[in-house]
Structure 1
Amino acid sequence: MVGGSPEYSQKRSGAYFTPGDVSAALIAWVCRKPTDRLVDPSCGDGQFLALHSNSVGIEQNPVSARRAFERAPGALVHEGDFFTWAIETRERFECAAGNPPFIRYQTFKGEMRRRALKLCFDLGARFSGLTSSWAPFIVATAGLLKRGGRMAFVVPAEIGHAPYAAPLLDYLVASFSTVHIVAVRKKLFPTLSEDCWLLYAEDFGGKADAIDLTVVDEFLPGRAPPKPTTKVNLEEWRAVWNQRLRPYLLPASVRGLYAAALADPCTKRLADFAAVGIGYVSGDNDFFHLRPSDAKRLQIPSAFLQPSLRNSRAMPDKQITRATVDDWKRNDDPVLLLRLTRDQELPAAVSNYLDSSAGREARQGYKCRNRAPWYAVPDVQIPDFVMSYMSGRNVNLVKNAAGVSCTNSVHSVRVRDQALASKLLPQWSSPLVRLSCELEGHALGGGMLKLEPREAGRIVFPSTATIGKANDSELEDAIGSLQRWRHYAD
């Protein structure tokens, strides 16, 4: 072992060790000869290294690095940052395999991220600052291969939908003759919320004319990946599907109908007639949201209190009415936002609350201490509709008939074209629009569907002609299939 680094927790370092049958299958495919030199860029406790004697591993966690050395004594184990090592080494390899760490961009930061993104840029892959760690790991590893080399990795299912997966896949198809992804519905890591797929890439230095995709219900060990079920046309993948592979989990007939809807000039998207954004960020929800009983006890005047939707659990099915708000108040829910503005004259009761121990604690929070005055919550809107940010079976869109505000736990929808909204929004519960929510959103841990504002703006409202061609039963099956893939309907 060489080098050194601080000890990392499993969660922080993204280290979750691979099931033995998965690692054995990847090594069996990628290592063709005993003399093949293998590199594992994040070798953990040496599980992959132990399966092939002619191996090199890099591991930042010193405890795991020691275990790897003990488990695979014939391998060379480097302790330290992989990207630093990749920049400095002159060694090149016939093959690579592993399970790169899944560290989200909030933690994948600082000098490590700068080195990683710079190295990937030099290799021809341009990632944004919102990239999770595993994608740069794969690009940097590919850059260590000899011409004709190959690699096999466990990858997060985000390769099928995340924006940062697009530059990774673009790099792979431009660098390997074959890029093969195996989408596995049943979890490879049963105890984790994160779904994982498998990536095989062969003949480094070549160029792929398609992405081979295999869709399977569960992983079955074998010395070679299962045969592709779909050849993903690169032009269609880019132009029609916004560089996402997730639509290819569906039958070709359903994809064809949806593609036809996208090509129809009469089709509209939600962003064509409404703006979708996040609600306000208070900086301290417990302090800024009062229960009616607390507001009464503190003698806060109602003029300074704005009824607000805290989260999607409080959303009714169709619309938020005055009766809805009355129910919140009757239940003494914390739904009254202390809504104060800059240069506003404050009554004694409000000033006393701001100067209370809870107020002194709240103003120390990051959001509060970085705005002036600290107690004026910015971007408080009264949206026309409220949309669930994370959803189970269906994405909920609720009319805001009571004029409440909303936090960033839900989406604020403000209509720009009332006539078009009145015409199209009645389609919200139709199969095609619900399928669009599934396709434009993405799976989140725990079976939830997450729609970022930009994704929500892409929700499709098909033309009358497209609706006439739709087979509702087939669409319902497709919706159910995507829900099973995100484990909501398991």
Structure 2
Amino acid sequence: MVGMSPEYSQKRSGAYFTPDDVSATLVAWACRKPTDRMIDPSCGDGQFLALHRNSVGIEQNPISAHQAIERAPGALVHEGDFFTWATETGERFECAAGNPPFIRYQIFKGETRRRALDLCLDLGAKFSGLSSSWAPFLVATAGLLKRGGRMAFVVPAEIGHAPYAAPLLDYLLASFSTVQIIAVRRKLFPGLSEDCWLLYTEGFGGKADAIDLTIVDDFKPTRTPPKATIRVDLDEWRNVWNRRLRPHLLPASVRSLYGSALADPETKRLSEFANVGIGYISGDNDFFHLRPSDAKRLGIPSVFLQPSLRNGRAMPDKQITKATVDAWTKSDDQVLLLRLTRDQELPKAVRHYLDSSAGREARLGYKCRNRAPWYAVPDVQIPDFVMSYMSGRNVNLVRNAAGVSCTNSVHSVRVRDRALASKLLPRWSTPFVRLSCELEGHALGGGMLKLEPREAGRIVFPSAATIGKADDEELEEAIGSMQRWRHYAD
């Protein structure tokens, strides 16, 4: 991709080419006979098209489209936007295979996004504003199939947990007689942080009564889709697991224990007694966070300075105390937030700092220039606890005994029901709650566990009856399994 324009860069276009054995396997699953007409909605350099002569490919990148024409001379390759083409074409296909582009919502936007979501809505799938590109690609592709048609695709492992993937799965279940997910633990793309699974559907025009989930450690080429490890009950998937497949990677006994805890009225979720949110967004961390030595040199009064936790790396294990803040100060860390408010009279030293070259540069930043006054950082809170946003072995919950504030690199936890918090939060490090963190959060690249505020609020504190049934050794093994799936414990 040397010389490629920024519009078609690999990261921006979501184009990561598929290992040969994976593409050959997916084409074998999708194509039953040579006369089957196959479509690849994002054909790249023609890797899938070259494996089945009776094929049509669409590719927006002109360089890749030209490569596809050369690589698969028997195929028909259209250069352009797939969603425009899908809206206009009258052609229909027996099967589809490929590796749709994985473009996150921040880049998947504008007219292309509007066309994609409008087409999906017409087909019966309503996606949120946070949907990545691959999910609409699959819905639009399914809409081009003949009755009885099949699809075989590489998909991000986010299909197992992302809220935006649920409308896709609902659509597939309502449109195909078989919906199968092949969860592959070891990476299909070793060079990518993104984990990928495989999707196979057949019987377009039918309706599935379960999700067939196949769980494997390693990908192995096969001529036909592998047998399902389990058939996921749709009521359980929807009502117990909030339309997430990832919990089904665990043994049935662990899922049953967790499900029984959720059904117990004595079980509580974190959101029932505390609010979880992100910390403040300064708009320019280097400008708004001063070292103690710089604050002293500039003569900024302490009344305008608020000790703050800037990131999870600075979090101690148990609690943030005065000794913690003293250690930050002794190390001359950048931990003093310049906390100014609207209509506040500012001393000369503060005004001088705001008008410095660093201040003139900071006020041009997006967040600063869109608030008034630009220097008043909003939503500065003093949480009761801070929680790690991205975690390795364990999610860290730390008592804020020193009254510091925190940036959005960690979560702010503010307790509403102190009696309930005093009863339940000491159980934070127990196996059940740690497993709940794994199940309610989701894997991020590099083996990290990410908990959005909404996910953190779902963390479960089981009833005493559930704790009495729990086998801590089994729960620890389940935690280890989840960490291996996110490649932290590999």
- State TM-score, norm by structure 1: 0.99
User: Residues 82 and 251 (structure 1 numbering): CA distance in 2 closer, same or farther, change over 3 Å?
Assistant: same
1:45 is aligned with what amino acid? D
Preserved CA contact (<8 Å) 1:96 1:150: yes
Distance 2:60 2:103 in 1: 13
Distance 1:225 1:188 in 2: 16
The aligned residue for residue 46 of structure 2 is 46
Cα deviation code 1:313-346 (max 9, x no counterpart): 0000000000000001111110000000001010
The aligned residue for residue 371 of structure 1 is 371
TM-superposed deviation, 1:29: 1.3
The aligned residue for residue 304 of structure 1 is 304
TM-superposed deviation, 1:303: 0.6
Matched residues, percent identical? Answer: 85
Cα deviation code 1:412-437 (max 9, x no counterpart): 00000000000000100000000000
Distance 1:474 1:276 in 2: 29
| 1:251-262 matches, cutoff 5 A | 251-262=251-262
TM-superposed deviation, 1:6: 8.6
| 1:90-239 matches, cutoff 5 A | 90-239=90-239
The aligned residue for residue 413 of structure 2 is 413
RMSD value, Cα: 0.8
Tell me the secondary structure at the aligned position of residue 198 of structure 2: strand
Residue 30 of structure 2 is aligned to residue 30 of structure 1 = yes
Tell me the secondary structure at the aligned position of residue 307 of structure 1: strand
Tell me the secondary structure at the aligned position of residue 351 of structure 1: helix
Cα deviation code 1:41-95 (max 9, x no counterpart): 0000000000000000000111111100100011111111100000000000000
Structure 2: runs of 5 or more not aligned: none
Superposition misfits of 4+ residues, deviation over 6 angstroms: none
The aligned residue for residue 385 of structure 2 is 385
Residue 485 of structure 2 is aligned to residue 485 of structure 1 = yes
Cα deviation code 1:162-214 (max 9, x no counterpart): 00110000000100000000000000000000000000000100000000000
Preserved CA contact (<8 Å) 1:7 1:63: no
Tell me the secondary structure at the aligned position of residue 300 of structure 2: coil
The aligned residue for residue 10 of structure 1 is 10
Tell me the secondary structure at the aligned position of residue 113 of structure 2: helix
2:84 is aligned with what amino acid? T
Cα deviation code 1:343-386 (max 9, x no counterpart): 10101100000000000000000000000000000000000000
1:289 is aligned with what amino acid? H
The aligned residue for residue 71 of structure 1 is 71
Distance 2:373 2:151 in 1: 55
Distance 2:337 2:79 in 1: 51
| 1:243-392 matches, cutoff 5 A | 243-392=243-392
Distance 1:249 1:187 in 2: 16
TM-superposed deviation, 1:7: 4.9
Preserved CA contact (<8 Å) 2:6 2:12: no
Distance 2:378 2:165 in 1: 33
Distance 2:60 2:337 in 1: 46
2:41 is aligned with what amino acid? P
Tell me the secondary structure at the aligned position of residue 154 of structure 1: strand
- State TM-score, norm by structure 2: 0.99
1:193 is aligned with what amino acid? S
Distance 1:218 1:160 in 2: 17
Distance 2:73 2:356 in 1: 62
Distance 1:229 1:433 in 2: 27
2:430 is aligned with what amino acid? S
Preserved CA contact (<8 Å) 1:177 1:202: yes
The aligned residue for residue 427 of structure 2 is 427
Preserved CA contact (<8 Å) 1:39 1:55: yes
Tell me the secondary structure at the aligned position of residue 69 of structure 1: helix
| 1:449-460 matches, cutoff 5 A | 449-460=449-460
Preserved CA contact (<8 Å) 1:50 1:72: yes
Tell me the secondary structure at the aligned position of residue 287 of structure 2: helix
Cα deviation code 1:98-142 (max 9, x no counterpart): 000000000000001111001000000010110000000000000
Distance 1:353 1:382 in 2: 25
Preserved CA contact (<8 Å) 2:45 2:68: yes
1:82 is aligned with what amino acid? F
Distance 1:417 1:7 in 2: 51
Preserved CA contact (<8 Å) 1:7 1:62: no
Preserved CA contact (<8 Å) 1:317 1:396: yes
Preserved CA contact (<8 Å) 2:7 2:13: no
Preserved CA contact (<8 Å) 1:27 1:51: yes
Distance 2:46 2:240 in 1: 41
Distance 2:246 2:167 in 1: 16
Distance 1:20 1:409 in 2: 39
Distance 2:379 2:26 in 1: 50
Distance 1:280 1:202 in 2: 48
